[in-house]
Structure 1
């Protein structure tokens, strides 16, 4: 009954409901409400503006994730290189996470922020069958549920992570060698940023504008519903990545590691098997003045097109 009422209200608010993607890790507010008292459940909130954890509120019992400090390497340049195993393991333990914990991740940014946390958990070998993502985030939850402004502290956990799965990573040297220099036909470089940043019309979070030579642009957030904060259906996701052939190695980047993590989740859901994230992304490449860039609509131009 509650689910039917939710469906009708969402249609009234947003129009006819689109068909949503259905990977096993996407859950809705009804699922979370049913399981929120489970003893092994840990809810983790990654807000775009972290102060809103307390001022606007969070799902009751949710632990705050400070997206830059907790999900990057605080001693690196740029900051959003991936944290070390030991640093990330310490963060998870501080959040009260054990090897047997079930995790629910959510944000207020169309799962782009939660996706970074999801990727890091996969990178360091956490059992991913125990990780869920709240599809719709705060919009989904607040349709029928209240938020809390009480801070949450949990007893320290004892989770043990594994060494990084290097098959999920690419460094700038890989990108420069395989794409810019050798133009390996079995490697595709994908830029997940907004199109105006890809072309260089808008410069943000870096000194230089444009894209890495050879990169193609697929905006990962275009695979989500901006109002409902949910993923679009498999048909729409397939259409979004229609120009990206399967069976290739994909290097993906964005600015800070959030949009590219969302692309990683989308691509893996669609059956792309070899998807690697550029550790540092445009925050590294676009601030390293000696590395080449291309401006405009095309992957290559000028001397790079020869």
Structure 2
């Protein structure tokens, strides 16, 4: 399984479904998991991937909570983790970021997740899978994590780019889910929904075309890129896409707009930010 790419098709998993080296983690809604899930999949509720503490509810859970979560699912270093969700990659990407944070980098994402699995006609089950708990002693790798203090003084640095994966209305400050609306100065907006082909079972759009789009916007692989949304849920997908594309220097701002927009001291811009592509003659 170590030779599997990050992005896999449903057929690849179907052919290896009963491999004992696999740990399949489902981050769908509880209702979808109860109704139909990939055989052998263990459920992780999306809420278990976030601290839930206001105002920045999307921050990483405590080390104690992470130990409890990964003890419950039976994670071991040798397991190849396969992740999926029911929405096109947001929660699955959030889980992959979490795996990076705890130092487990042996994983794959099923393109299209549950929607693709059902469309392609593969078997599902209803019975919950409850593996034997395996005690964890997690340590945190801070490299994939961006905190305000890490980058607030670097907003003018040309080698840093901030990818805001929220809707354009949130970015411009027209739709507000915090004390203040708008965006981080200089941040580049590309809505996470623009990455998903909703007419093809929530699979990712063509990755070469997505790469061209990122390049046009100045979200290039030579930069350090920090991605965020409101709670680092939607930006789970932008983080995942950059992993798939091989970006070497990426981080997620897990405080996201829930933290930035509820602070009284952070700088904020509103309206449209001039994008690099718009500046071309």
Looking at structure 2, the residues matched to 273 and 263 of structure 1 have their Cα atoms a distance apart, in angstroms, of: 14
3-state SS of paired residue (1:188): strand
- Structure 1, residues 227-259: CA drift from partner, whole Å, max 9, x if none? 321112222111220222332222221111122
Q: Which residue in 2 is equivalent to 1:72?
A: 50
1:246–1:59 distance in 2 versus 1, CA, 3 Å: closer
Q: Which residue in 1 is equivalent to 2:9?
A: 28
Q: TM-score, normalised by structure 2?
A: 0.86
Looking at structure 2, the residues matched to 124 and 232 of structure 1 have their Cα atoms a distance apart, in angstroms, of: 29
Check whether the contact 1:212–1:294 (CA below 8 A) recurs between aligned residues.
yes
1:150 pairs with one of 127, 136, 149: 127
Looking at structure 1, the residues matched to 221 and 41 of structure 2 have their Cα atoms a distance apart, in angstroms, of: 37
- Structure 1, residues 131-162: CA drift from partner, whole Å, max 9, x if none? 1111111121112124322222111124554x
2:102 pairs with one of 114, 124, 130: 124
Q: 2:259 aligned with 1:280, yes or no?
A: no
1:170 pairs with one of 123, 129, 146: 146
- Structure 1, residues 80-112: CA drift from partner, whole Å, max 9, x if none? 211244432331120122221221111011111
1:187 pairs with one of 111, 135, 160: 160
Looking at structure 1, the residues matched to 158 and 11 of structure 2 have their Cα atoms a distance apart, in angstroms, of: 45
Check whether the contact 2:160–2:224 (CA below 8 A) recurs between aligned residues.
yes
The Cα of 1:199 is off from its aligned counterpart by: 0.9
Check whether the contact 1:115–1:262 (CA below 8 A) recurs between aligned residues.
yes
Looking at structure 2, the residues matched to 29 and 189 of structure 1 have their Cα atoms a distance apart, in angstroms, of: 32
The Cα of 1:46 is off from its aligned counterpart by: 0.9
Q: 2:195 aligned with 1:214, yes or no?
A: no
Check whether the contact 1:45–1:65 (CA below 8 A) recurs between aligned residues.
yes
3-state SS of paired residue (2:204): coil
Q: Which residue in 2 is equivalent to 1:4?
A: none
3-state SS of paired residue (1:119): helix
3-state SS of paired residue (1:166): coil
The Cα of 1:78 is off from its aligned counterpart by: 2.0
Q: Size of the alignment, in residue pairs?
A: 268
1:298 pairs with one of 260, 266, 273: 273
Q: TM-score, normalised by structure 1?
A: 0.80
Q: Which residue in 2 is equivalent to 1:237?
A: 210
Q: Which residue in 2 is equivalent to 1:304?
A: none
1:60 pairs with one of 20, 39, 44: 39
Looking at structure 1, the residues matched to 93 and 122 of structure 2 have their Cα atoms a distance apart, in angstroms, of: 23
Q: Unpaired runs of 5+ in structure 2?
A: 276-281
Looking at structure 1, the residues matched to 82 and 68 of structure 2 have their Cα atoms a distance apart, in angstroms, of: 19
Check whether the contact 2:224–2:249 (CA below 8 A) recurs between aligned residues.
yes
Higher Cα radius of gyration: 1
Looking at structure 1, the residues matched to 118 and 27 of structure 2 have their Cα atoms a distance apart, in angstroms, of: 16
Q: 2:82 aligned with 1:104, yes or no?
A: yes
Q: Which residue in 1 is equivalent to 2:30?
A: 50
Looking at structure 1, the residues matched to 9 and 247 of structure 2 have their Cα atoms a distance apart, in angstroms, of: 25
